[in-house]
Amino acid sequence: MCGIVAYIGDKPALPVLIQGLRRLEYRGYDSAGVALLNGDSIERVRSVGKIDFLTDKVKTRPPAGTLGIAHTRWATHGGVTEENAHPHVALDGKLAVVHNGIIENYRELKEQLAGVNFVSQTDTEVLAHLIGRHYHGDLRSAVQQALAHVRGTYGLVVMHADHPDQLVAARLGSPLVIGIGEGEHYLASDATPILPYTKKVVFLEDGEVADVSRAALETFNLKDETVAKHVEEIDWDQTQAEKQGYPHFMLKEIFDQPTVFQDAVRGRYDLTEGTGRLGGINLTEEEMRRINRVVFIACGTASYAAMIGKYAFERLVGIPAEVDVASEFRYRDPVVDDRTLVFAISQSGETADTLAAVREAKRKGAFVRGIVNVVGSTIARETDGGTYIHAGPELAVASTKAYTNMVAIMLLYALQFGRLRRVSIATGQRLLSALREIPEKMKAILAQSDEIRSMAEEYIRHRDMLFLGRGINYPVALEGSLKLKEISYIHAEAYPGGEMKHGPIALLSPDFPVMAIMTRNQLYDKMRSNIEEVRARGARVILIATVGDDRAREISDRIVYVPETMELLEPLLNTIPLQLFAYHAAVALGKDVDRPRNLAKSVTVE
């Protein structure tokens, strides 16, 4: 998400920090800042916008010093303002912190920090003051003690004006790399800013704290026991480093899914009560019970994620739910009223049609809430509440990890509403327990990437492909076909399995293969019959089936096995092989995977 750079050595720190921020700008880009130790005080400069704005600001009076920390922000808490930009300070500006990740219990911690005058809305400022509270002359110990009270994720670096030869870094869930130079150290949230200076690095692991001086690097756990670290040599070039070794952003983002899924759901459910806990809905329980219809508005991939929301609301809440493509909704004179809840779903938060649909729904008196990735985006600001999906910057044009996180948030919303109506505590708990198992199950699918590549390579000679799914897997088929066509330019379409015999079956032939999702759920037998129909026409079949379903192999030419989960959660898993299939097909065809022709990441025009 955000990017951290820090330096301690004998060179002027500012150019190292600014260069480093530029190299990290791909991670987050809404504001940036630096803090340097100049004599016995910390000088801090921050700016909203690109790194260029920060460089303009430091040009006239560049902060001096050979020790400093820097940050480029991608907002998670609080809007995009200079006050919210990092570094954050405590102890009257003597202690400065940069932080990536999310402190889940920052509200509770804030309440405990009585007497502190907070100047930002960020969780990081709370963390800075918490470390300040524990500081009694020993910086490392203050960080360790403070972190013992923190719930959430962090990669952080701390400096203190009274410690001119010390930086303290810590990691839990948010990466930190330390580069080792001659009498100097570089710290960063990935290796990109470090590569021009040294290839020797140490990767901090979760729960580790690094105490870094010019001459030495020591690592500890939170109990202050020494941890021995292995120094590694990395040989990535610059672009590889930005992609953390992946050849394309799309593949990196597909592989990000287990991690960012956890970022989406963490702290947003209550296992004891078996319910979702999304405060952003901004409705009282009474208002939630009064809602008698839900309308999802979105475009493209977000609209397919929305279809899963529709199934979830119908099943768990028992009220009518529908999905409207935003470009249609805005001109259709939609029927909504003050008992309708409209969810606008968007990765960028800037899609012109979705925004226009938001305005239309508000005009008609509906409750309008956002499910958005980019913090502070227009849709996030114009909706009267909602939830950020915390997928981090999505740089490949084809959406992958944002889709998964949108689905996760809609499932939690459906559960939260459902628990006020017909879902029992036991059902809620079962769903949440299954949700917690998703990241490991995603990893089991990602581990089959090479196998899926060989399938894709075998199928790219076809010019057309049909995707089939039923029930909750119909939107998965739609998403799989969109992924394939938009990056590989293979023509693909998706149909509900039962609809095939009403027309598309005419297309089938040995040259027109079918990708079908036939996982074990209530429609398994129906789907199986549809696949038999496909095979009777001589078409080749790739199946997505449940682990252990050996009979599925008999009716497929190629098969990908996915772990079993509750039916409502299946799209969180079943979409991943389709993302990988599209990715590998596009690579094998030599297409520009991250920037497919004619497409833009953020469609801000109608």
**Residue in 31, 219, 301, 340 binding ligand F6R, rule: CB under 6 A:** 301
DSSP per-residue codes, 530-586 = HHHHHHHTT--EEEEEETT-HHHHHT-SEEEEE----GGGHHHHHHHHHHHHHHHHH
Residue numbers 586-605 binding ligand F6R by CB under 6 A: 602-603
Only one of the segments 161-169, 281-289, 298-306, 458-466 lies at the binding site for ligand F6R (rule: CB under 6 A); that segment is: 298-306
Q: Do residues 58 and 19 make contact, with C-beta atoms less than 8 angstroms apart?
A: no
Q: Is 488 in the site for ligand F6R (CB under 6 A)?
A: no
Q: Which is nearer to ligand F6R, 42 or 358 (CB)?
A: 358
Least distance (Å) between residue 602 CB and ligand F6R: 6
CA 223 from chain centre, in angstroms, equals 31
Q: Is 250 in the site for ligand F6R (CB under 6 A)?
A: no
- Which residues 6+ apart lie within 8 Å of 529 measured at CB? none
Print the binding letters for residues 82-121 with ligand F6R: x by CB under 6 A, - otherwise. Answer: ----------------------------------------
DSSP per-residue codes, 280-347 = GG---HHHHHH--EEEEEE-HHHHHHHHHHHHHHHHHT-S-EEEEEHHHHTTS-----TTEEEEEEES
CA distance linking residue 56 with residue 54, whole number of Å: 5
Least distance (Å) between residue 352 CB and ligand F6R: 9
Q: Which is nearer to ligand F6R, 564 or 594 (CB)?
A: 594
Q: Is 302 in the site for ligand F6R (CB under 6 A)?
A: yes
> Helix crossing, 438-446 with 570-588: angle to 10°?
20
Q: What is the DSSP letter of 226?
A: B
Instruction: Give yes or no: 2 in active site.
Output: yes
Q: Is 383 in the site for ligand F6R (CB under 6 A)?
A: no
Q: Do residues 541 and 516 make contact, with C-beta atoms less than 8 angstroms apart?
A: yes
Instruction: Give yes or no: 57 in active site.
Output: no
Print the binding letters for residues 423-462 with ligand F6R: x by CB under 6 A, - otherwise. Answer: ----------------------------------------
Q: Which of 2, 243, 252, 485 is catalytic?
A: 2
Q: Is 299 in the site for ligand F6R (CB under 6 A)?
A: yes
Residue numbers 348-377 binding ligand F6R by CB under 6 A: 348, 351, 354
Least distance (Å) between residue 300 CB and ligand F6R: 2
Print the binding letters for residues 386-425 with ligand F6R: x by CB under 6 A, - otherwise. Answer: ------------xx--------------------------
Q: Is 346 in the site for ligand F6R (CB under 6 A)?
A: yes
Half-sphere exposure of 593 (CA within 13 A, CB side): 22
Three-class SS state of 214: coil
Q: Is 492 in the site for ligand F6R (CB under 6 A)?
A: no
Three-class SS state of 509: coil
Residue 389 backbone dihedrals phi, psi, to 5 degrees = -90, -5
Give the interface with ligand F6R as residue ranges (CB under 6 A).
299-302, 346-348, 351, 354, 398-399, 482, 486, 602-603
Residues marked active site are found at: 2, 601
